[in-house]
Chains A and B, each alone.
Chain A
Amino acid sequence: MRLNVVLRYVGMVLLFVAAFMLLSAAISYFNGMDSAYYPLLLSSLLTALLGAFPLIFVDKSEQITTKEGYCIVVGSWLVACVVGMFPYLIWGGEFNLINSWFESVSGFTTTGASILNDVEALPRGMQFWRMSSTWIGGIGVVMFALVILPSLGRSKQTLSSVELSSLAKDNYRYRTQMIVQILLVVYVGLTVVATLLLKLAGMDWFDAVAHAMSSCATSGFSTRSASIGYFDSPAIETVLTCTMLIAGIHFGLIYATVTGKRNNVFRSEVTKTYFAIFLAVSLFVAISLRIADTYPSIFASLRYSAFQVASLMSTSGFATANTNLWTPFAIILLMFCSIICACAGSTSGGVKVDRLLFAAKIVRNRVRQQQHPNAVLRIRVDGIMQEDRVLDSVMIFFVIYIIMLFVGTLF
């Protein structure tokens, strides 16, 4: 493995991160040069220097091996998380070493958890950096690296195969170069549209941009300690619910739908299942809440249940209500959503609806096989016959996920 090549591409990712730090510093500057300006500017300079250094010695490489690809992806994530904590550490406040690391990792992995007790106390520049880290994390640091890299030929293919799961790649019927462009166009486009809609719904520009970035990355970072509950606006909640749901769909399908291709959102079996789960769970939760008299009307119950279900299914984590006070039935349904989550090829995490659909079809096939032992039964999704290799990997993923859930619960 050539460490120098790995360092070059990790360096390019760092330059990208530094650019966002500089943008955050600019926001800080235009907000009356608040206390975040100096930490962000300093962090940006240090990160840029660290990222640019390997470029002095290493020229661009046409070929990279799979092993190098893995190292670039893993290295980029780790180093981005490390440099991402620089602004927090230098700024101070509630951020000590551990807290800064937590906030940075939470941002880049789009987890959305925060150590902050008072989010509003953060200056705007620092708030923007939080949102930037989660937005970069949403699309995947490496995808950005791929976009900013000049013509790399096969190296793009190697990196994308590491960054994208095999399930996610199914809906991309394009070349790797095209996939990267689609991802970027959909991600940036969705963020811009969400920003405009949130502004129209009543947020100020800064909050609109910040929440659009956070919802498109499905991270759930908010500029308010009370999250979306602070705004108490059905219009804002509706826009965010839609944004979170769309961000949970395969980006290739969104692109295909917008450009009028055949394999679009409305024809996809996975997307149909995703929306069916969302509607069914939202409705059941709303009915449960209404019966328990948690909210005064069925519409109020639907408003809160739809938002929370979308938030958990997309792994965003935005909140408008204290779900601890909800009925056990509603809580169990929400937990189910947080495990299943959204579709492969989106910014969300979890098992993904695709795998749930595959697993359901595998089980149905097994039952049919028992009834008709001699029948040759194949599994099709969106009319495409699935290979046994893919089905095996789905089941392996399920088993590992469940084991990890148990282990995580125990510790």
Chain B
Amino acid sequence: MTGIRKRITVGFMSIAALLFFSGMISFFELSHLSNDTEEILKANSRNIELARKMLDASDEQNRAFMHLAVLGHVQYDSLCRRSMADIEQTLEVARQEAVDRASLDSLGFAVSEMRILTDDFLTFGAGAEQGYVDTEWYDSDFHNCYKNLTLEIRKFMTSTQSSLAPRTEQLKTNAYRSVTPVLISLAVMIAIVLMFYFFITIYGVNPILEMNRSLGNYLAFRTPFVVKGECRDEMEELRDKIETLITNSKQQIKA
């Protein structure tokens, strides 16, 4: 490669390319990290939302059974069926979306128990035969099942919170890993900028300073025009032209 302009242009373009490159890496890695963080937060809030829905539905279920089994309000059987369906539907959604699926197994078991209890009561249970009134069944069988179900729903709600600590730890490690390529790119860029400075100095700045000094000495003291150091491309041409000019000038003075 020849020509000072070409060399400097290619040098600058390399630095610009690396700058763009490291910028892209930073953007890519930070987007990745941001997505991870957002995903954790979304999963957390979605878990709470689903658990709240299930708790609401089980409260409705409890209210419906209280009306049915204690007060004998038979019109509440539809609310009872709807609440049970709501709980199951929400559980299905949670199964599809949940990050921590292990905690859903015990919840699924508690929901199944509640479904069996509800179906038995509404179809074959003593409640159906006696106009649904069965206080003893409500206090013992249903209450135990309801307590177990709400406990499992609460466990599901807090499961995301408890899995948050290791995931945050993992995020911290990922953050360190995400920053590493950027740091390496920056280190390489610093090395290239230092090299660029060095090459510009030895090929551009030093020859000009040297020629300026030597030309000044020639004009002031008539000392020979000598340029120390390496001159290349246009600098070499410039030095040669100055030398020719000085030689011509000397010849003209002699003539």
- Total residues of chain A contacting the partner, CB 8 A: 21
Chain B proximity mask over A55-91: 1 for CB below 8 Å, otherwise 0 = 0111100000000000000000000000000100110
Are A86 and B184 interface neighbours, CB within 8 A? yes
- In the complex, A295→B199 CA distance in Å? 65
- In the complex, A373→B211 CA distance in Å? 69
- In the complex, chain A residues 16-55 whose Cβ is within 8 Å of any chain B Cβ: 39, 42-43, 45-46, 49-50, 52-54
Chain A proximity mask over B180-206: 1 for CB below 8 Å, otherwise 0 = 110011001001100110110011000
Q: Decide yes or no: A56 and B177 within 8 Å by CB, A42-B25, A89-B184 being known contacts.
A: no
Nearest neighbor of A54 in chain B, beta-carbon distance: B195
Closest chain A CB from B171 CB (angstroms): 14
- In the complex, A353→B100 CA distance in Å? 63
Are A56 and B181 interface neighbours, CB within 8 A? no
- In the complex, A381→B20 CA distance in Å? 61
Highest count of chain A CB atoms <10 Å: which of B17, B192, B203:
B192
- In the complex, A58→B14 CA distance in Å? 15
- In the complex, A136→B11 CA distance in Å? 29
Chain B residues near A53 (CB-CB < 8 A): 11, 14, 192, 195-196
- Total residues of chain B contacting the partner, CB 8 A: 25
Are B185 and A46 interface neighbours, CB within 8 A? yes
Chain B residues near A56 (CB-CB < 8 A): 1, 7, 10-11, 14, 199
Q: Is B27 an interface residue (CB 8 A)?
A: no
Q: Decide yes or no: A57 and B185 within 8 Å by CB, A4-B202, A45-B21, A92-B177 being known contacts.
A: no
Q: Is A3 an interface residue (CB 8 A)?
A: yes
Chain B residues near A49 (CB-CB < 8 A): 14, 17-18, 188, 192
Closest chain B CB from A49 CB (angstroms): 6
- In the complex, A92→B185 CA distance in Å? 16
Nearest neighbor of B200 in chain A, beta-carbon distance: A57
Chain B residues near A356 (CB-CB < 8 A): none
Highest count of chain B CB atoms <10 Å: which of A3, A46, A86:
A46
Kindly identify which residue among A4, A46, A54, A58 contacts B184, using a CB–CB cutoff of 8 Å.
A46
Chain A residues near B185 (CB-CB < 8 A): 46
Are A89 and B180 interface neighbours, CB within 8 A? yes
Q: Decide yes or no: A7 and B188 within 8 Å by CB, A53-B14, A56-B7, A90-B181 being known contacts.
A: no
- In the complex, A57→B196 CA distance in Å? 9
Chain A residues near B203 (CB-CB < 8 A): 57
- In the complex, A228→B191 CA distance in Å? 41
Kindly identify which residue among A54, A57, A59, A90 contacts B180, using a CB–CB cutoff of 8 Å.
A90
Are B188 and A50 interface neighbours, CB within 8 A? yes
- In the complex, A49→B195 CA distance in Å? 12
Chain A residues near B18 (CB-CB < 8 A): 49
Chain B residues near A42 (CB-CB < 8 A): 25, 181, 184
- In the complex, A39→B17 CA distance in Å? 19
Closest 8 CB pairs of A and B: A57-B199, A92-B177, A46-B188, A56-B10, A90-B181, A53-B192, A50-B188, A89-B180
Interface positions of A (Cβ within 8 A of B) = 3-4, 7, 39, 42-43, 45-46, 49-50, 52-54, 56-59, 86, 89-90, 92
Can you report 7 residue pairs joining A to B where beta carbons are below 8 Å apart? A4-B198, A4-B199, A46-B184, A46-B185, A46-B188, A57-B7, A57-B203
